[in-house]
Structure 1
Amino acid sequence: MLSITPTVRNLLILNLLFFVVDSKLGLSGSLALRPVLSSGFMPFQFISYMFLHADFGHLFSNMFGLFMFGPLLEREWGPKKFLFFYFFTGIGAGLLFSGIGYFENTMLRNAIDVYIQSPSPDALVDFLSKHAKGLYEANLEFVNAFEENPTNSHYIQSSIQLVNITYDAVINQPMVGASGAIFGILMAFGLLYPNMELFMLFIPFPIKAKYFVTFYGLYELYSGIKNAPSDNVAHFAHIGGMLFAYILLRYWATKKTNY
């Protein structure tokens, strides 16, 4: 059995140490990646977010992927090139996620401004159903009361506060995890070793790496576009890691036939 490589080992240790310290000191407040429009956003978060995780399950799944696929790539490229790839894809994942988030948050801000100009019960229902279904369900009693008193200034001002709460919640939502870099590693593995067969616990038959990576990427793209309200996974960060991995490997002029 091949031993774990030095860079992968160090990354595993760093992520574990950050998880332990974060659980004691709460580093996510300043080191997690905040939306660009947030007052808490700082450029260094494009790196620091990669070493924070929401819970142990999140940490374990990412580190398991790093442990399984990382050593093979590090042996192929060497420590320096592998480490550069890891950070390039992780930062790239954060950039794509932030770019899409900037567009979505700008659209949300515009929708809020439109509502503030013409607040009404119907407009409130329309806004909440499109942008904050959870708030709509939690404030159903208020919405019904507003419908019964559409000209009441108290309800109008309260409805404006409610839509602003939606924006504050979204604009301060942090993103953490090494998933972008791990999906970059997965993409590289699929490109460099496309015909290597993988045995997955949840698939009862061997599957070639190129098919596994393709299906996984398409699933992430579908989930990101669908954007289910209950889904707290940063799917576009995963797509970003895979996309930047592909770009870098093309830049390195890497061909599958060489491996």
Structure 2
Amino acid sequence: MRTPVTLFLLAANIAIFVLQTQAPDGLIPRYALWPLGEGFQPWQVLSSAFLHGSLLHLGVNMLGIWTFGRELESAMGSLRYLWLYAVSVLAAAATQLVAVSFGDPVPTVGASGGLFGLLAAYAILFPHRKLILLFPPIPLPAPLFVLLYAAFELYAGVTGTLSGVAHFAHLGGLVGGLLVLRGRRRRLRSR
């Protein structure tokens, strides 16, 4: 299974994390996604998706991209898969910019928005696949898993549960993924 975009995303995220740990300022001040008026620069909507807050943060995101990305890229083709990931990252950043305009001006980092777009696409393209929760280990059909995960993200974002996590960015990435797949299905039907 050839998946060059997935491999590139993994390599780029890992390389940038290593660079981030070696840079005197950690790259966060310039490349994280800052709220509008608080240091925001246009490139941050993309650059922030390659920064991570910790090795665990990086590991979880890369495991998700590896797990879902390879199969999605094989099914969709590399260019469509790259488009899916990019739109999901941009939708996550836009959603986060709106969400933080009502809260504390803190920077956002991570590939989670892109990963949530991949989750949405996976649920649509592979609706009969089972995904297993870690706690408790219950296998669920992919669409139900993603729906429950999205409901938790909405709950956590509204209530402030698990502060320090960009819950609304996750939801934005999920919506970005859904929009890309919806547009793809509409084009296929019109042919």
The equivalent of 1:84 in structure 2 is: 83
The equivalent of 1:30 in structure 2 is: 30
Q: Distance between the aligned counterparts of 2:111 and 2:96, measured in 1?
A: 13
Aligned-residue Cα RMSD (Å) equals: 1.6
Offset at residue 100 of structure 1 (A): 2.2
Unaligned runs of 5+ residues in structure 2 are none
Offset at residue 199 of structure 1 (A): 3.4
TM-score, structure 2 normalization: 0.91
Offset at residue 4 of structure 1 (A): 6.0
Kept in 1: contact 2:32–2:47 (CA 8 A): yes
The equivalent of 1:197 in structure 2 is: 130
Kept in 2: contact 1:190–1:209 (CA 8 A): yes
TM-score, structure 1 normalization: 0.68
Q: Distance between the aligned counterparts of 1:222 and 1:205, measured in 2?
A: 21
Residue by residue over 1:15-69, the C-alpha shift from the partner in whole angstroms, topping out at 9 and shown as x without a partner, is 000000000101111000000121x110100000000000000000000000000
The equivalent of 1:239 in structure 2 is: 171
Kept in 2: contact 1:33–1:41 (CA 8 A): yes
Kept in 2: contact 1:53–1:176 (CA 8 A): yes
Q: Distance between the aligned counterparts of 1:254 and 1:68, measured in 2?
A: 27
Residue by residue over 1:203-243, the C-alpha shift from the partner in whole angstroms, topping out at 9 and shown as x without a partner, is 33321111111100000000011124x61100000000011
Residue by residue over 1:124-161, the C-alpha shift from the partner in whole angstroms, topping out at 9 and shown as x without a partner, is xxxxxxxxxxxxxxxxxxxxxxxxxxxxxxxxxxxxxx
The equivalent of 1:72 in structure 2 is: 71
Q: Distance between the aligned counterparts of 1:196 and 1:254, measured in 2?
A: 23
Higher CA-based Rg:
1
Give runs of ≥4 in structure 1 deviating > 3 Å: none
Q: How does 1:170-181 map to 2 (within 5 A)?
A: 170-171=104-105, 173-181=106-114
SS in 2 for 1:9: helix
> In structure 2, which of residues 167, 170, 182 is the aligned counterpart of residue 250 of structure 1?
182
What is the number of equivalent residue pairs in this alignment?
185
Q: Distance between the aligned counterparts of 1:177 and 1:199, measured in 2?
A: 23
Aligned partner letter, 2:130: E
Kept in 2: contact 1:4–1:67 (CA 8 A): no
Kept in 1: contact 2:2–2:74 (CA 8 A): no
Kept in 2: contact 1:94–1:237 (CA 8 A): yes
Relative distance call for 1:254 and 1:61 in structure 2 (3 A) is: farther
Relative distance call for 1:4 and 1:63 in structure 2 (3 A) is: farther
Unaligned runs of 5+ residues in structure 1 are 106-169
Q: Distance between the aligned counterparts of 2:53 and 2:84, measured in 1?
A: 24
SS in 2 for 1:198: strand
